[in-house]
């Protein structure tokens, strides 16, 4: 069974927010919608849930058209960023709320609540008051409430957006384990590319109400397709070429435009004869490593990242940690390191 979105468009007061979106999510797949605020990703989630009415297009589950079906009849679960827990109910009361409204017998509710709390690592928290929970614990309770009803599609709208970086990273790892254990279709919305890569089976990058790139994490990282998608995915070396396709690294294209120079394909080596970058370029083509200056180093995720000045061009690359600020190094690009971008 799967979700299919065909040509979905949504407009508010005549202003288009989504424009002809096509999307599929298979059973057991985690699809992450990635993009900046205002790109339409939350609107897409709300339209799938039935909370926004599309101006065009269809929403189908297992080939059954749900476009006109009310939210409660779709069998989908939606978790919001603010988690919207009831302060006057304890943890168990929050998790069982939807089950009670649906008329599920008390003994079944009790079993479902216990199972859901166990799945999110909150065993024994059923009697706790909501105002005694940490931010991370509250997020787990909200997630337990979403999965308790056994939705056929689980939708998560920026669930960690209000949390600090350290807690968000820890909960993202926990969530990845949980989603694989659930084995159901999931649509997860985020603006954080690290979160997207940690969770996704596939990533769909949104921009201006459209899906600009979709594929598995390795595919979209290697070939983002557009400048906007490359920025959303966390790429930093976006290089503008002149009319002949040149930049201080050499000739990287056939004409003007923007290319991605992948930081994981930049090779740092011995100085290129101590010459400035321009002297290493002949007829617009690199004839060997060009000369770069290390202007900054930092540690990201346990790896060393260096910032290089190559003839006035700022580039970031991974390093083995043997370089220091002020070092003159040779910089070259390995095969597959230059990716043309549109837009």
Segment 149-201, tens digit of pLDDT: 888 999 999 887 766 777 777 778 878 888 888 788 999 999 999 999 999 99
Stated pTM of the model: 0.86
By the 8 A CB rule, do 92 and 126 touch? yes
CA angle 144, 32, 235 (to 5 degrees): 135
Residue 281 pLDDT grade (very low, low, confident, very high; cuts 50, 70, 90): very low
Q: Which has the higher per-residue pLDDT, 27 or 161? A: 27
What tens digit of pLDDT does each residue of 290-323 get?
899 999 998 876 788 999 999 999 999 988 878 8
pLDDT exceeds 50 at position 287:
no
- Assign domain 2-230 one CATH number from 3.40.50.10440, 1.10.3720.10, 3.40.50.1480, 3.40.50.300: 3.40.50.300
What is the pLDDT at residue 17?
95
By the 8 A CB rule, do 251 and 284 touch? yes
Range in 46-55, 200-209, 320-329 the model is least confident about: 320-329
Residues paired with residue 160 on neighbouring β-strands, in sequence order: none
pLDDT exceeds 90 at position 257:
yes
What is the pLDDT at residue 296?
94
C-alpha separations of 297 from 164, 319, 325 in Å: 24, 9, 7
What is the pLDDT at residue 93?
94
What is the pLDDT at residue 273?
54
Q: For CATH 2.40.50.140, list the domain ranges present in the chain.
A: 238-341
What tens digit of pLDDT does each residue of 94-123 get?
999 888 888 889 989 999 999 889 888 889
Q: 25: burial class by Cβ within 10 Å (0-12, 13-18, 19+)? A: buried
What is the pLDDT at residue 288?
54
What is the pLDDT at residue 272?
58
Closest among 51, 60, 50 to 23, alpha carbons compared: 60
What gap in Å lies between CA 85 and CA 144, rounded to an integer? 11
Residue for token digits 């503008």?
A: 240
Range in 8-12, 39-43, 161-165, 339-343 the model is least confident about: 161-165
Q: For CATH 3.40.50.300, list the domain ranges present in the chain.
A: 2-230
By the 8 A CB rule, do 162 and 6 touch? no
What is the pLDDT at residue 241?
94
Q: Which residues contact 104 (CB under 8 A, 6 or more apart)?
A: 112
pLDDT exceeds 80 at position 274:
no
CA angle 31, 137, 114 (to 5 degrees): 85
What is the pLDDT at residue 278?
41
Stretch 40-61: mean pLDDT, rounded? 95
What is the pLDDT at residue 162?
64
Q: What's the mean pLDDT when you consider all of the chain?
A: 88
Q: 223: burial class by Cβ within 10 Å (0-12, 13-18, 19+)? A: middle
DSSP 278: G
What is the pLDDT at residue 342?
92
What gap in Å lies between CA 226 and CA 223, rounded to an integer? 9
What gap in Å lies between CA 93 and CA 108, rounded to an integer? 14
CA angle 36, 37, 42 (to 5 degrees): 105
Closest among 212, 217, 208 to 229, alpha carbons compared: 212
Q: Which residues contact 128 (CB under 8 A, 6 or more apart)?
A: 90, 91
Range in 79-83, 124-128, 205-209, 258-262 the model is least confident about: 79-83
pLDDT exceeds 80 at position 324:
yes
Q: What is the CATH number of domain 238-341?
A: 2.40.50.140
Q: Which has the higher per-residue pLDDT, 299 or 340? A: 340
By the 8 A CB rule, do 288 and 277 touch? no
What tens digit of pLDDT does each residue of 214-236 get?
999 999 999 999 999 999 999 99
The alpha-carbon radius of gyration of the chain (Å, integer) is 24
Residue 203 pLDDT grade (very low, low, confident, very high; cuts 50, 70, 90): very high
Number of Cβ atoms within 10 Å of the Cβ of 275:
14
Q: Where are the alpha helices (DSSP H) in the chain?
A: 41-49, 91-101, 106-119, 135-148, 165-182, 193-199, 217-222, 227-232
Range in 23-37, 38-52, 171-185 the model is least confident about: 171-185
């Amino acid at each position: 069974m799967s979700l299919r979105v065909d040509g979905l468009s949504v407009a508010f007061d005549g202003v288009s927010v989504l424009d002809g979106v096509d999307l599929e999510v298979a059973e057991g797949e985690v699809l992450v919608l990635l993009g900046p605020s205002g790109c339409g990703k939350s609107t897409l989630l709300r339209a799938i849930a039935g909370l926004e009415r599309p101006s065009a297009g269809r929403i189908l589950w297992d080939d059954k058209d749900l476009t006109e079906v009310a939210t409660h009849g779709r069998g989908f679960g939606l978790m919001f960023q603010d988690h919207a827990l009831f302060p006057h109910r304890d943890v168990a009361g929050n998790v069982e709320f939807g089950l009670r409204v649906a008329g599920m017998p008390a003994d079944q509710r009790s079993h479902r609540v216990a199972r859901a709390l166990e799945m999110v690592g909150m065993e024994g928290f059923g009697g706790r008051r909501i105002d005694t929970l940490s931010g991370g614990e509250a997020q787990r309770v909200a997630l337990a409430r979403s999965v308790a009803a056994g939705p056929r599609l689980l939708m998560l709208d920026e669930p960690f957006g209000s949390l600090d970086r350290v807690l968000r990273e820890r909960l993202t790892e926990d969530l990845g384990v949980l989603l694989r254990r659930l084995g159901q279709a999931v649509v997860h919305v985020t603006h954080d590319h690290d979160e997207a890569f940690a969770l996704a089976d596939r990533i769909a990058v949104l921009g201006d109400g459209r899906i600009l790139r979709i594929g598995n994490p390795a595919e979209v990282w290697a070939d983002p397709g557009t400048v906007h998608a490359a920025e959303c995915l966390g790429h930093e070396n976006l290089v503008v070429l002149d009319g002949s396709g040149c930049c201080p690294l050499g000739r990287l294209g056939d004409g003007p435009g923007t290319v991605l120079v992948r930081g994981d394909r930049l090779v740092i080596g011995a100085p290129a004869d101590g010459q400035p970058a321009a002297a290493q370029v002949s007829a617009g083509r690199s004839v060997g490593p060009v000369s770069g200056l290390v202007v900054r180093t930092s540690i990201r995720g346990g790896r060393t990242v260096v910032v290089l000045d190559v003839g006035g061009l700022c580039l970031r690359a991974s390093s083995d940690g043997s370089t220091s600020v002020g070092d003159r190094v040779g910089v070259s690009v390995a095969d597959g390191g230059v990716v043309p971008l549109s837009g």
